[in-house]
Structure formats: structure tokens, C-alpha cells
Structure 1
Amino acid sequence: MRGYVEMFRLGKTYDTHRGPVVIVEEFDLNLAKGEYVALLGHSGCGKSTVLTMVAGLNPITTGGVVIDGREIDGPGPDRGVVFQSPCLMPWMTALDNVMLGVNQVYSRSSKRDRIDLASYYLNLVGLGGSLNKRAKDLSQGMQQRVGIARAFALRPKMLLLDEPFGMLDSLTRMELQEILLEILMRDKVTTVMVTHDVDEALFMSDRVVMMTNGPRARVGAIFSLPFERPRQRADVLDHPEYYEYRGKMIQFLEEQDHKKLQAEANARQRVKQSTPAETEPTAASV
């Protein structure tokens, strides 16, 4: 079945001094328009590699990505990206940081319209009173709000989130999760989020895509979640299937842990078998 976003046989190989290393292999995933999908897996399994390939920031080795009928060949304003660190210009104001992208994408619009667009999204993330504060004077949570506003202000077809709440305290993280979901409900932006947090994936996503361990990581399992939108955290936690899905995801991750430990043990055994055994000195050699 074709989707609004199609990732087909997506793969990434890096050349090293020991030869090519396949990080991601045969990654297939389709998304419907407006769908929210989380990529969940252990650190180093290739989640961010997939995300940066879709963003056009990392060259694709095999396969491809199609968004709204067009195959991507690099970065573009049709994809907004929010990283764990917002990467703002510290000497510029919150408004000016958002305006950087708006000025590029909407250069034919009037200056007033561009300012209004940037201000609108800064207001939505709760920074209406901090438009003219320099980024270096904002808290970490406020800086991430600027990063989210900057991505939405481009009005992208797709939003790509690389652990956007990973550096925040728990209260700020929960608040920004809810703000993000409110904007997504309003703008209907197709979204892929990388996370290693099971509860975050359950609360925010329509589907959770579990990735196998790398190298040669691929889709290991997909869970379609039954939680209705708009979402309230208490309703999700009280849903009769919440802990069933949570248990399945944790079980998958534990199975990946077991496979990793088994692979490491097998590798050590092969090294041991290939190492010549020390021999006792013979009488003739003494």
C-alpha cells in the first residue's frame, strides 16, 4: 500500500578501514498523511541514521524516500527537523532565530507577513512574551520551544524529531509533549520521532516502529496504538491496553538485549578458537 511518505529498502553503509559497515538495511515504512510514528530502539541501532536520511542530511546508500509523490534528493523546506539540541544562534532573539528559515522559504511574502508567521508559532509554543529575548538568555526548555516553532513556521509536509525532549527535565518534557501534540492536531503534519522512551512513544504516536539492533538494523515490529486523539495523558495511562502494549515493547527490547549479548559471546568464542594455544616447553627446547 502506497503512503504519503514512503521509505523503500532504505539502507546506509559506511566505508571504514576494516571495510564497509552496513548500519541500516532494507528499512521499509509507509506513513499516511498526518500520521505520527515513533522509531523506538536501543542506542546505536540506527534510528537517527534513518531520520537524517529522510531529512536529506545524510546521503542514502540504497533505496529511497518519497514524500507526497516526490523522491527526495537532499534537504528541503518540505521537512522540518527538531534535534535534541535546538542549535540556535545565541546572539539572536527568539523571533530572529525563527525568521532565519521563514525569510528563506517565504522570501516573496511581505516582511510583515513573515514576522506574523514566526510570531504565530512562537505564541503557540508559549513564547509570546519572549520574542525579543536573545537565545542565550533563554532556559533550555525555552530554547527547545524556539526550535519547535522554527520547524513549524516553515509549514513543512513532514516533521522529523530526533529525541527532542531528551535533555529536558520531566515536567518540561511533559509540557512540551502536550504543546507539540496540540500543534500537530491543528496543522496535521506527518511526523516521525526518534526516541528510546517507551512511555513517550506510547503517549505521542499512532504507530511505534521497533528497530532491531545494528549493524544491519531494520524494522523488527510495528505496533498500531488504539488511543484516540486528541489525547489526554491520564486517559492514555488509564486505557485498558496501555500496559499490554508497553509490555510488548519492553519485551522486544529485552529480546534485542539478549541477541546482542549472545552475538558478543559468539564473537568472543570465535576469537578464542582462532588464537593459537600456548604450548608447554619440551625437554629438547629447555
Structure 2
Amino acid sequence: MPGYIEIFNLGKTYDTPNGPAIIVEEFNLNMTQGEYICLLGHSGCGKSTVLTMVAGLNPITTGGVVVENREIDGPGPDRGVVFQSPCLMPWMTAMDNVMLGVNQVYPHASKSERRDMAGYYLTLVGLGNSLHTRAADLSQGMQQRVGIARAFALRPKMLLLDEPFGMLDSLTRMELQEVLLEILVQDKVTTMMITHDVDEALFMSDRVVMMTNGPRARVGKLIDIPFERPRNRTEVLEHNAYYDIRGDMIGFLEEQDHKKLKTDAAKREASRDQEEQSCLAPA
């Protein structure tokens, strides 16, 4: 069934000296408007590859991505991206950093309208008193708030988050998770987030996409998250289904670990056999 976001047969292959390396293949996913999806899997399974292809920052080898009935062919303001590091201009203020994107996307709006837009989202993320503070003088958590405000100020149809809280301490991380969810409930932006944190995925998402190991990574399992929105962290943790779903997610990751061990052992065995045959071959 078609979705607001359609990702069909998405694949990425890189040319290497040893031949083509297929990183992701036949990745399929439909998302409804306002849905929050987390991609979860081991390091190197292709999560960031998928996200950057959806963002239009990484050329697609096979398949495609459709955002509200339009197939993408590169980056665009309909998709806002927040990385682990917010990549701000350190000599510019919080306001000016957000205005960089707003000025590009809304050139026909008046200057006051553009500043109101930037100020509105900076205030929503809790930086109403720091609009004119240089990015270099902001804490890491505050800088990430600027990055989130910058993405929302473009009013994208889709938000793409690449471990946006990965470099933050646990308290700041939890605070920003709740700030982000409040804005998402209000703006109903369809969201895809990469995380390595099972509990973060459980608290934030509507569905979790469990990815198989790379190379040739794909969707291994889709897990529905039944908690109602808006979410209260204590109520989520006390929900009857919480630990069953958590166990299911961890079980999938452990299964991928086991498969990797078997694959690595088979490769070592094949390498030893090849070496032995090479030694026994006549000169």
C-alpha cells in the first residue's frame, strides 16, 4: 500500500579494487504522514547509508525514494537533516545559523518574517534567551538544539536524524528527546532516526526497523511500538509490553551477532583451505 514516504528496493553498491561491494540491497519501507521510525542495527549494517540516500546526499544505486508523490533526485528542503554533530558556524549566533537555511528556502518572505520563523523554533527548543549567543559559546547540548531548530525552521515534509543525541550526556539526551517529541507532535513531521540505543528507539518511535548485518543489509524485522502519544517516560517504562518488545529487539541483535560469528568462521576456514591448496600445488 503506498505511503506518504515510499522507499522501494533501495540499494547501494560501491566499486572497490576487489569488485562491487553491495552495502544495502532491496530495502523496502512505507511511512505514513507523521510517523516516527527508528533504524536499529549493529555498526556497519548500512543505517547511515540508507538515511543519506533518503536525504539525497548519497547517490542511489538501485530503487528509489518517493516523498509525497515525488521521487527524489537529490537533496531538498522537503527533507531536513540533523547529524550527530550540528555543524554550526561557530562565529555566528544561534539566530544567524538558523537563518542560513531559512533565507535559502524562503527568499520571498520578508526579513522580519524569516527572523520570526527562526526565533519561533529556537524558542521551542528552549533557546529563547540565547538567540544572539555565538555558537562557539553554547554548550554541546545547546548547539544540538540549534541544529534541531534549523531543521524544523525549513518546515520539511520529512526529518532525518543520524544519532542526534549520541554525543550528549544522559540527562541532556533525555531532555532533548522530549523536546523533539513535543515539536513532532505539534508539527506532525514524518521522521526517520538512526540509533544504537534500544531504549531510545522504544521511547521515541512508532515502529522500529531492525536491519540485518551488512554487507547486503536489508530490513530484517519491523516492530510496532504500541505506546500512545504524547508519551510519558515513566508510563512507557511501566507499560506491560515494554520489556517483551525490548527483549524481542535484543534477541534480533543477538541473532545477528551469532550469524556474523558463523560467517566469519566460514571465511577463516575457506581462507585456510585456500592457503593449504596453494602450498600443495606443484611449483
Same fold per TM (> 0.5)? yes
Letter in 2 for 1:29: L
Match of 2:238 in 1: 238
Radius of gyration: which is bigger? 1
Give secondary structure in 2 for the equivalent of 1:24: strand
Alignment of 1:235-274 (within 5 A): 235-274=235-274
Distance of 2:271 and 2:217 partners within structure 1: 24
Residue deviations 1:247-270 (CA, integer Å, cap 9, x gap): 000000000000001100000000
Match of 2:179 in 1: 179
Give secondary structure in 1 for the equivalent of 2:182: helix
Give secondary structure in 2 for the equivalent of 1:268: helix
Match of 2:228 in 1: 228
Letter in 1 for 2:266: N
Q: Which runs of 5+ in 1 are unaligned?
A: 281-286
Q: Residue 136 of structure 1: CA displacement?
A: 0.6
Match of 1:82 in 2: 82
Alignment of 1:112-261 (within 5 A): 112-261=112-261
Is residue 2:1 matched to residue 1:29?
A: no
Match of 1:95 in 2: 95
Distance of 1:20 and 1:211 partners within structure 2: 21
Q: Residue 276 of structure 1: CA displacement?
A: 2.6
Match of 1:283 in 2: none
Distance of 1:234 and 1:152 partners within structure 2: 27
Q: Residue 277 of structure 1: CA displacement?
A: 6.5
TM-score by length of 1: 0.97
Q: Matched residues, percent identical?
A: 76
Distance of 1:254 and 1:224 partners within structure 2: 19
Distance of 1:185 and 1:79 partners within structure 2: 17
Residue deviations 1:167-207 (CA, integer Å, cap 9, x gap): 00000000000000000000000000001100000000000
Letter in 2 for 1:58: N
Distance of 1:279 and 1:152 partners within structure 2: 62
Q: Residue 278 of structure 1: CA displacement?
A: 9.4
Q: Residue 76 of structure 1: CA displacement?
A: 0.2
**Cα RMSD after superposing both structures:** 1.1
Question: Quick one: structure 1 residues 270 and 129, their matched pair in 2 at CA, closer, same or farther if it must change by over 3 Å?
Answer: same
Distance of 2:119 and 2:91 partners within structure 1: 18
How many residue pairs are counted as aligned between the two chains?
Answer: 280
Letter in 1 for 2:114: R
Distance of 1:150 and 1:108 partners within structure 2: 18
Q: Which runs of 5+ in 2 are unaligned?
A: none
Q: Residue 272 of structure 1: CA displacement?
A: 0.5
TM-score by length of 2: 0.98
Give secondary structure in 1 for the equivalent of 2:164: coil
Give secondary structure in 1 for the equivalent of 2:29: strand
Letter in 1 for 2:49: T
Distance of 1:257 and 1:77 partners within structure 2: 38
Q: Residue 41 of structure 1: CA displacement?
A: 0.3
Distance of 1:96 and 1:277 partners within structure 2: 65
Deviates more, 1:166-175 or 1:271-280: 271-280
Moved over 2 A (4+): 276-280
Question: Quick one: structure 1 residues 138 and 4, their matched pair in 2 at CA, closer, same or farther if it must change by over 3 Å?
Answer: same
